Amino acid sequence: MTDMSIAQAEPVLVAIDISKARHEVLIAVPGKKRRRRLTVLNQLDDFNRLTAALSKYGHPVRVAFEATGNYHRALAFHLGSAGFEVKLVSSVALARTREALHNSWDKNDPKDAQVILHMMQIGNEQFYHDPLLSGTNDIQELSKTHDMVSRSKTELWHRVLTHYPLPGSACLHA
Tens of pLDDT along the chain (174 residues) come to 566 655 567 899 999 999 898 999 999 999 888 999 999 999 999 999 999 999 999 899 999 998 887 888 889 899 998 999 999 998 888 888 888 887 776 667 678 888 999 999 998 888 887 777 777 667 777 887 888 999 999 998 888 888 766 666 655 554
Residue pair 18/92 in contact (Cβ under 8 Å)? The answer is no
Residues 125 and 173 reside in one and the same domain: no
Residues 145 and 119 reside in one and the same domain: no
Residues 48 and 67 reside in one and the same domain: yes
Residues 157 and 115 reside in one and the same domain: no
Residues 50 and 113 reside in one and the same domain: yes
Give percent helix, percent strand, percent coil of the chain, each to the nearest 5.
45, 15, 40
- Is residue 7 a part of any domain in this protein? no
Residues 105 and 150 reside in one and the same domain: no
What global pTM score does this model have?
0.70
Give the single-character DSSP code of 59: S
Domains contained in the chain, number: 2
- The whole domain housing 75 covers 12-134
* Degrees, nearest 5: CA angle 20-24-27: 145
C-alpha R_g of the chain? 22
Residues 122 and 49 reside in one and the same domain: yes
